[in-house]
Amino acid sequence: MTLRVGLLLSTLACTSPRGDAPRDHSSIEPAAAAVPAFSVELRRITKHPTCLGNERVKVDDQGAVVSATNQAECAAGTVWSTPYPAAPRYRLTAAERDQLGRLLQTSGVMDLPPLTTDPAKVTTDGAREELDILVGSRHAVVAVEGTEVAAFAKVRQALLDLSKR
């Protein structure tokens, strides 16, 4: 009995009435911050005098994934001949939506300059790739030409992978 009383007293002595004792927090993990509403669109636009093959992939704020690739020449002065389909190709699960939203927030892509190029590689061919991103109230449009940027490449690959589902 004396042992039980001793254990009870030592337990009470180690417990803070304010609940701020270190052991009180050891089993509590911080809650992940909710991902704000977002939308993102990837655009690949050829620098050739044709618009054939220009490609777009978009994830809207509801998680609908749509994609379109030009199959016909465009009207003069335009870069898109193929509209997005009326129905989404795929709809993100809640987990996929959170994962993509976190990637947009943590990759650094929204902090890139509006255009990143490599002057040593600037050519009249190739493509311009653009990301148009809206996360919460923060909006960014960033583009790359003739170079690879890790943050941009991560988001681009995620969107291309989703467009193939």
User: Whole-model pTM?
Assistant: 0.78
CATH 3.40.50.2300 fits 38-163, yes or no: no
How does DSSP assign 79-140, residue by residue? S--SPPPSS-SEE--HHHHHHHHHHHHHSSGGGS-SEEE-GGG--SSSEEEEEEEEETTEEE
What is the tens place of the pLDDT at every residue in 39-53?
Answer: 999 999 998 889 999
Domain locations in the chain as residue ranges: 38-163
pLDDT above 60 (res 3):
no
What is the tens place of the pLDDT at every residue in 111-154?
Answer: 999 999 988 776 667 899 999 999 999 999 999 998 999 999 99
What is the tens place of the pLDDT at every residue in 53-76?
Answer: 999 999 999 999 999 999 999 998
